[in-house]
Amino acid sequence: MKFPRDASKRKIIKTLEKLGFKIVRIGSHISMMRENQDGTKTPLTMPNHEKIKGSTLRVLCRQSSIKRDEFLELYKKA
C-alpha cells in the first residue's frame, strides 16, 4: 500500500493520536509527543498544512518508528 498523495491533516492527527501521540504545540508546525512504555518519549513534528504530501508522511513514519501498514490501516478508519 502507498501513502496517500495529499492526506488530510485532520485524518493524520486522528491516526497519530490512535498511535499514542498527543499534540504538544501548534504554530506553523504541529508538534506531537508519544510516551513509550519504557519511559522514553518520541517527538514528531509536521507542517501545519491542510494537506500533507505522501513523501512527508513517509518521513514522519520513519522518524517515529511507525510501520507503514500500521499507519495506513488506522488512516483508512479515521
Distance CA 62, CA 47 (A): 16
Please list the alpha-helical segments (H only) found in the chain: 9-18, 54-63, 68-77
Which of the four pLDDT bands, split at 50, 70 and 90, describes residue 1?
A: confident
Amino acid 61: pLDDT: 96
pLDDT digits (tens, 9 = 90+) for 12-60: 999 999 999 999 999 999 999 999 999 999 999 999 999 999 999 999 9
Contacts of 24 (CB under 8 A, 6+ apart): 31, 32, 33
Amino acid 8: pLDDT: 96
- pTM given for the model: 0.93
CATH code for the structural domain at 6-77: 3.30.920.30
Neighbours of 14 (CB within 10 A): 15
Answer with the residue of higher pLDDT: 78 or 35.
35
Cell numbers that stand for 27 in this block: 504554530
